[in-house]
Structure 1
Amino acid sequence: MVLAPMAGITNIGFRRLCREQGGGMFVSEMITSRALVERVPLTFQMIRFGEGETPRSIQLYGVDPVVIGKAARMVAEEGLADHIDLNFGCPVPKVTRRGGGSALPYKRNLLRAILRAAVVNAGALPVTMKMRKGIDDDHLTYLEAGRIAAEEGVAAVALHARTARQHYGGAADWDAIRRLKEAVTEIPVLGNGDIWSADDALRMVAETGCDGVVVGRGCLGRPWLFRDLDAAFRGSPERARPALGEVGDMMLRHAELLCEVVGSERHGLADFRKHVGWYLKGFTVGAETRRALTSVVTLAEMAERLGELDREQPWPDEADGPRGKSGERDKVALPHGWLDDPDDTTVPGADAEDATSGG
């Protein structure tokens, strides 16, 4: 069970919240390899780990084998993490238009060079990769990318069963996870996409034969999903169905952790605003109360507002389902001529790895 890296979400506070609920591997936010190598201070803040957090998992994004190699060696030699995951799944335009994320596996030889550099320089640290099916239905890359990963010594591959064009819309193609598992037998294959409940995870494993699951948007406003996953994979039918009062308690705990991470109640609570709607999805909570919870500036004020909720309101049946980003793209933003030659090993320009491109 893996918590998928999510920009602006999977910081040290959220990872701790999820770890308090259940087991698994909890990966950092996506880190730009060049920013790590250049020791950008903000990047080092993003890869902080909590006391007792193990294994410490970091996800790197990059397009240059040399830079990725330096970053992997740095992580290994300086003891920055216990595991490196490489991002080839990010679909956001500011990444794909520079040749990164889910655009990169189309350049199969460049992908191979990056994976080789990471594995060689990481030494004893395991290196994994996360990818999508491809750019769009006409440019699928996941089967070849999975085989290349196995050949280059990658420890495991995770497939988000959507194309970059799908972004976060439509339905995940779980059959693609099954096909990847059948094609790549040397290393574990993990499945990602449309796991909104523990029973979804059980169904994915049963239908695809995958070796594990990666959960992203499914735990937004639902950190107890890891408690459910623990129970489900132990064979227990027990599932968390918290009443609104317990949800409110979890919201306050999450807010406290964010404030601790940021070092400021005002800024921590500002960061928490995006989580309010996810936690309250499906519950009957008035618009005024929701607005109030997104405008508090102190934890005491938040606790007071949460105390106004109907604590006995039961878990709503419609609470599960999609949260977070959604919708498809008309097309995928790519560098000029990117699709002309899949064997081209030209490294995209340096701006593809600027300090802010890894979102």
Structure 2
Amino acid sequence: MGCPQQRAVDGGHGSSLLPVSQWPLVAEIVSHLSQNLKVPVWCKLRLVAGNKSLTHKLTALLADNGCKLVTLHARYASVTRRRQGLADLNEVKILKDVVTSIPILSNGNVRTLQDVTKNLEFTGADGIMVGEALLANPWLFEGKEADSVGIIREYLDICANVHADAFSIPSVRQHIRNFLRAK
């Protein structure tokens, strides 16, 4: 329930599942998965628009239906502005204080190793999730600066020699743009 991309919303998944009207379906999906999978069900979500307590209520609903961990990307879903502005880490902190039955991970505002520490200290979250920052700097958790040229060379070598059939030109271009963002 975190992805705000138009193709996810159009497909009826991702952040399109956040509105209260979708919660019965969400509960059914999570319950079914938790009863039928051998691995624990984890959910990632964004802030639910409207009353701030809705995010807490959705998280409790997820836990009640078998979800074992929630990651909160503390931004509202927006197709047009999904990376704009900082995540509201205070909302992660509040969620962590309100929902004590399952672990809560924090997602957002992490670009450096120091950001990881600051985020966890502020929110009290049980862990951290990092997405796109790792595309720009795969060494983020080691506290190292990214070598964009080195990353690109290694990536292209993998594309050409290891998994050539798995890569499309558009996805390779996008990955290279992410690697260049590190500078």
> 1:143 matched to which residue of 2?
56
2:43 to 121, 129, 143: 129
Counterparts of 1:85-100 in structure 2 under 5 Å? 88-100=1-13
> 1:354 matched to which residue of 2?
none
Structure 1's unaligned 5+ residue stretches are: 1-87, 229-238, 283-318, 320-359
Separation (CA, whole Å) in 2 of partners of 1:215 and 1:140: 25
> Is 2:165 aligned against 1:263?
yes
> Is 2:156 aligned against 1:241?
no
Deviations 1:175-219 (A, max 9, x none): 111111112111110010121111111111000100111111111
Deviations 1:31-68 (A, max 9, x none): xxxxxxxxxxxxxxxxxxxxxxxxxxxxxxxxxxxxxx
> Is 2:98 aligned against 1:197?
no
Distance 1:164 1:221, change over 3 A: same
Preserved CA contact (<8 Å) 1:119 1:153: yes
Deviations 1:238-259 (A, max 9, x none): x3135xxx44222211222233
Deviations 1:245-297 (A, max 9, x none): x4422221122223322338xx6666422233433347xxxxxxxxxxxxxxx
Separation (CA, whole Å) in 1 of partners of 2:122 and 2:52: 25
> 1:217 matched to which residue of 2?
132
Distance 1:275 1:156, change over 3 A: same
> 2:154 matched to which residue of 1?
253
> 1:279 matched to which residue of 2?
179
Counterparts of 1:162-173 in structure 2 under 5 Å? 162-165=75-78, 167-173=82-88
Preserved CA contact (<8 Å) 1:127 1:156: yes
> 2:24 matched to which residue of 1?
109
* Secondary structure, aligned partner of 1:161: strand
* Secondary structure, aligned partner of 2:75: coil
* Secondary structure, aligned partner of 1:250: helix
TM-score (norm 2): 0.85
Deviations 1:74-110 (A, max 9, x none): xxxxxxxxxxxxxx11112232245421121322222
Separation (CA, whole Å) in 2 of partners of 1:111 and 1:187: 17
TM-score (norm 1): 0.45
Higher Cα Rg, which structure: 1
Deviations 1:142-173 (A, max 9, x none): 21111012112211110111111352212101
The alignment of Structure 1 onto Structure 2 pairs a total of residues equal to 178
Structure 2's unaligned 5+ residue stretches are: none
Counterparts of 1:59-74 in structure 2 under 5 Å? none
Counterparts of 1:332-351 in structure 2 under 5 Å? none
Runs ≥4 in structure 1, deviation > 4 angstroms?
Answer: 137-140, 267-270
| Bigger fraction of residues in helix | 2
